[in-house]
Amino acid sequence: MPSTPTPAPLADAVIRARGLAKHYGDRHAVDGIDFDVLRGECFGFLGPNGAGKSTAMRMLYGFTPRTSGELAVLGMDVARHPRRIKARLGVVPQENNLDPDNTVWQNLLIYARYFGLSRAQARARAGEALELFALDDRRESEIHELSGGMKRRLVMARALIGDPELVLLDEPTTGLDPQARRVVWRTLRELRRQGRTLVLTTHYLEEAERLCDRVVLLDHGRIVLAGRPPELIDRHAGELVLEADLSDIPGRSHGDPLPPVTAAAIASSELDHAWVDGTLTVYGAGMQRWKLEQLFERIPVPEAATRTVRRGTLEDVFLRTTGHALVEGAQA
């Protein structure tokens, strides 16, 4: 008799946060958030600047003490066992805080001492890390001789010195050109293949879409949306999106409302839309492609506007979510 297949057990939660908050006086940088990060996944914090991403990240390795809530990393309380936790973490901070007084190779060896590694271990790990990030020919270079992309890769190589289970990356590709960004993405995928858990913050939504299994969107210190990128796109943006840029039409000014005829057509189509900074975006969440194409046809936009129908992205999900947040803010 065939046995009934048992569902695969869920991976364990390497990070568990409940009601996690950081307040600076009246400013609530992180305002009571709940999330779990499972072993082996890539988890993303998205959101605009000042949303609380970096604060949340710094709290994960004990750099910023929490105001309230619970936070367990690798099963331990960050406030109680920061050294034990950090011994198993790799951190890629937002700024490249490489040591300009030392060469590439010394940067890695010195960092290895902070993890209590022996000289032989340090050399082996540093060699592997440089190879993974294609920096082995820059061993003797001074830090100021490296390009922006190389510095970023070296910061990531440095984060691997302690052979971490969990790697925290704060804006890993900010400031990089598209080619350097792709190199970083490739190595991040390699880290996942090695079985490491990744947590990253980004405001590049394409990055989140390509790399993350699960994302949370932060706004004003709160989680406003969470899920798997493809599902979020399907549910909140749709397979196709209509976009019309009215901002450059002569005679219109920045704060003008949507033209009434367009607004009426959208209302009768029952499609959801965002109207932000002179750009109209119409979403077809949950609808089939052919139906959407028909509906979009019936929405008139001024001829001078740039009109495109394209695939839905996380960018749309983001815009739609924060667009609503803005409306709520205006009503309050």
Partner 1 sequence: MTTFDTTLATMPDAPLASAEIDPSTPPDSRIDLRLTRAVWHRNRDVFVRLWKWLLFPNVVDTCLSMLALGFGLGASVSGFGGDGYAAWIAPGLVVCSALFSAGFECSYGTYYRMDKQRTFDAMIATPVQLDDVVLGELFYGAFRGAVSASVIAAIFGAFGLFDSWWALLLPAVCFVSAFMMSTLAVTAASISPMLETLGYWVSFGIFPMYWLSGTFYRPGDFGEPLDTLQLLSPAYHGVALARDAAGTEGATLDGSSLAHLAVLVGIAIVGTWSSITMMRRRLVR
Residues within the interface to partner 1 (CB under 8 A): 10-14, 16, 24, 33-36, 38-39, 61, 63-65, 72, 74-76, 80-84, 86-87, 89, 91, 93, 95, 97-102, 106, 110-111, 113-116, 158, 162, 214, 216, 223-228, 235-236, 272, 320-321, 324
* Nearest approach, Cβ of residue 235 and partner 1 (Å): 8
Please say whether the beta carbons of 285 and 236 come within 8 A.
yes
Nearest to 230 by CA among 213, 217, 243: 213
Q: Strands of 80-134 (E only): list them.
A: 89-92
- Helical packing angle, 148-159 and 178-193, nearest 10°: 10
* Nearest approach, Cβ of residue 210 and partner 1 (Å): 19
* Nearest approach, Cβ of residue 223 and partner 1 (Å): 5
Whichever of 82 and 302 has its CB closer to partner 1, that residue is 82
Please say whether the beta carbons of 169 and 198 come within 8 A.
yes
Three state DSSP letters for 243-302: EEECCCCCCCCCCCCCCHHHHHHHHHHCCEEEEECCEEEEECCCCCHHHHHHHHHCCCCC
- Polymer length in residues for the chain: 332
Please say whether the beta carbons of 147 and 155 come within 8 A.
no
Please say whether the beta carbons of 198 and 160 come within 8 A.
no
* Nearest approach, Cβ of residue 69 and partner 1 (Å): 13
Whichever of 24 and 182 has its CB closer to partner 1, that residue is 24
Q: Please identify which residue in the block is written with the tokens 């011994």.
A: 87
Q: What is the CA radius of gyration of the chain?
A: 23
Q: Please identify which residue in the block is written with the tokens 């947040």.
A: 325
Q: Please identify which residue in the block is written with the tokens 């970023």.
A: 152
> How far is it, in rounded angstroms, from Cα 284 to Cα 242?
8
Whichever of 44 and 278 has its CB closer to partner 1, that residue is 44
Give me the amino acid identity at 67. Answer: T
Whichever of 64 and 262 has its CB closer to partner 1, that residue is 64
Beta-carbon contacts of 298 under 8 Å, excluding residues fewer than 6 positions away, are 265, 269
Whichever of 215 and 305 has its CB closer to partner 1, that residue is 215
* Nearest approach, Cβ of residue 110 and partner 1 (Å): 5
- Which token pair is 323? 């667009």
**Is the C-alpha dihedral spanning 133, 135, 136, 141 positive or negative?**
negative
* Nearest approach, Cβ of residue 322 and partner 1 (Å): 11
Give me the amino acid identity at 297. Answer: E
* Nearest approach, Cβ of residue 178 and partner 1 (Å): 27
* Nearest approach, Cβ of residue 248 and partner 1 (Å): 29
* Nearest approach, Cβ of residue 24 and partner 1 (Å): 7
Please say whether the beta carbons of 104 and 154 come within 8 A.
yes
Whichever of 175 and 182 has its CB closer to partner 1, that residue is 175
Whichever of 30 and 225 has its CB closer to partner 1, that residue is 225
Whichever of 46 and 188 has its CB closer to partner 1, that residue is 46
